[in-house]
Amino acid sequence: MLGRLVFVVLTLGAMTALVHAGAVDVSVTDAKGLPAEDAVVVANPLAGPPAPPGAPATAVVDQIDKEFNPLVTVVRTGTLVSFPNKDSIKHHVYSFSPAKRFELPLYKGKPSKPVLFDHAGLVVLGCNIHDWMLGYVYVVDSPWFAKTGNDGKARLSDLPAGDYEIVVYHPRAKDPAEPSRQRIAIEAKPKPPLRYQLELRKPVPRPHVPKSGDVDYE
C-alpha cells in the first residue's frame, strides 16, 4: 500500500571538502538541473555522537485536504510529533516502519497524545482510508539537520569545528541504494556550497475524488 520507498544517489565531487566554519550550505537539483525540494541533509560528527537533547522537542504534521503537510518532516530522536486532522472527515494514520510503528485510529481534530519518535530512521506515514496519502518523518540523532526548500537549498548552521559526514536523502530518488555520505571538515576558510544532483521519480498523481464521494467514517 505504501509502495517501495527509495533513497537518493548523488553525483559527488571529491569525498572531502572544506566549508566555512560553523555553516554548511547545500544546493540540490534534479537530473534536469531544477531545484529539488524536500531533500533531507544531516551532518553527523565523526568524533562521536552529540550530547542527547534535554526536554523533548515537539513537531506537527497536519492533515489538510487529504494530504500530510508537510510531506517530509525531519526531527531529532526523542521528539514528540502531533498529527492534527484539519479535514472535515476522519483519517486513520499509521506507520509500519521499523523505526516507529504506531496507529491512530479514525479521528477528527487533535489526538489526545503526540507520538514519541525515539529511534533514528525513516518513518513512512499512511492513511488507512485514503491510499494516496503518504508522508515521511526522518528521525536523526544529530542536532544538525535541514530540509531543502522549493529553491533546492538548505543550510546547516552552528556546527563546531571538526570533521563531519554529510548524509543526503530524498523519498523520490530513483536508485534504491544507500543514501550518499560525504566527509567534510569545518574550518575557517570559506568555500562554495556543496552541490548535489540526483535523479528523481515523478510524484505519484493524486486520484480525483469528488466531494460527493467523501465519507465521514464513524
Does residue 29 register a pLDDT over 60?
yes
| Residue predicted with more confidence, 60 or 15 | 60
Q: Identify the three-state secondary structure at position 212.
A: helix
Whether this prediction's pTM lies above 0.75 is answered by: yes
Region at 137 (left for phi over 0; alpha for psi -120 to 50; beta for the rest): beta
- Reported as a single tens digit per residue, the pLDDT across 104-123 is 999 999 998 999 999 999 99
- Match 537539483 to its residue by C-alpha cell: 29
Under a CB-based contact definition with an 8 Å cutoff, are residues 15 and 185 in contact? no
**Amino acid identity, position 103:** E
Query: Right CATH number for 53-141 from 2.60.40.420, 3.50.50.60, 3.30.750.24, 3.40.228.10?
Result: 2.60.40.420
Delimiting residues of CATH 2.60.40.420 domain(s) in the chain: 53-141
Where residue 204 falls among pLDDT bands split at 50, 70, 90?
A: confident
Domain 1-50+148-202 CATH superfamily: Carboxypeptidase-like, regulatory domain (2.60.40.1120)
